[in-house]
Structure 1
Amino acid sequence: MNLSHIPLRTAVGAYFLNSGLSKWNLEGEAAEGMYGMAVGAIPALKRFAPGAFARLLAGSEIAIGVGLLLPVVPSALMGTGLIGFGGGLLRLYWATPGMHQPGDLRPTQQGAALAKDVWLVGAGLTLVLDDMFNRGRRAGRKIGRKVR
């Protein structure tokens, strides 16, 4: 892990861990509301019961949070997780009526809470790209040393 990733990974990891832990015991109306919104955007999620979906979502957030906080987990892997999770939230934003202006990406007042999740995709891309480019530079330096 690159030392410059520590602030990003710590902030996002703590956020995800807290979010997952707060959802872990969701039941009843809270789980059903979250489930209903998700199924409206991604119909394939209908195969899960609301409680099981809430537990799966919470577990995913906990796993991403812990992975980000553990420096032994590669940044590119965690970045890929953030891109996938953030992409799912942006899909939810785009597919849920009333979240954005008609035919426009700009959020409505109700959609602002979901639209802001674009930062997850940006953070994920930063981790993946930085890890890829730094890995390439390190490999180039190793090759250069061997040639001399």
Structure 2
Amino acid sequence: MTSRSLLRQLPTRIVTGAFVLNSGLGKRNADQETAEHLHGFASGTYPVLGKMDARRFASLLSAGEIATGALLLAPFVPAAVAGAALTGFAGALLGLYVKTPGMRREGSIWPTEQGIGLAKDVWMLGIGLSLLADGLTRDR
């Protein structure tokens, strides 16, 4: 990555990476109640997760967030790789927003009060796509 590209990407990589990393670290030792809440919410939208143990789900979610945050924070990781990881992560979160009843106003893409927490993840999707595009199109 050229120094100009890195400097341009650094602010978004640092703030987004730190946010996602902190979220993952916070789930690292999730208690049973927290694990069941996270698992129940996710498996309601993604039924394939329903067969997984709640503690295992929380552990894997934590690991995925930690890995995504670390990829964003590591300046030697290419923008396309970090962007792809963030895009996938944000896409899964936005899937929760789109598919979970009560998150959006009736017949609209706009969030309800309950949906604001997930709707804001659209910013991470935009950052991920920007990093991906920058990494794939920059001059070599």
For the superposition of Structure 1 and Structure 2, which TM-score range results when normalised by the shorter chain?
over 0.9
Aligned counterpart in structure 2 of residue 38 of structure 1, from 28, 36, 42: 42
Q: Deviations over 1:78-105 (max 9, x none)?
A: 1011111111011101111110012211
Shift of 1:54: 0.4
Matched with 1:62 is 66
Shift of 1:28: 1.4
Root mean square deviation of aligned Cα? 1.0
Residue 74 in structure 1 maps to residue 72 in structure 2: no
Counterparts of 1:82-121 in structure 2 under 5 Å?
82-121=86-125
Matched with 2:128 is 124
Where does the alignment leave 5 or more consecutive residues of structure 1 unmatched?
139-148
Matched with 2:53 is 49
Please, what TM-score do these two structures have when normalized by structure 1? 0.88
Q: 1:42 corresponds to which letter in structure 2?
A: Y
Question: How many residue pairs end up in the alignment?
Answer: 136
Q: Using the alignment, how far apart are the partners of 2:80 and 2:51 within structure 1? A: 30
Q: 1:53 corresponds to which letter in structure 2?
A: F
- Percent of counterpart pairs with the same letter? 48
Q: Using the alignment, how far apart are the partners of 2:11 and 2:71 within structure 1? A: 14
Q: Using the alignment, how far apart are the partners of 1:65 and 1:94 within structure 2? A: 24
Shift of 1:71: 1.1
Runs ≥4 in structure 1, deviation > 3 angstroms?
Answer: none
Q: Using the alignment, how far apart are the partners of 2:49 and 2:127 within structure 1? A: 26
Please, what TM-score do these two structures have when normalized by structure 2? 0.93
Where does the alignment leave 5 or more consecutive residues of structure 2 unmatched?
none
Q: 1:122 corresponds to which letter in structure 2?
A: G
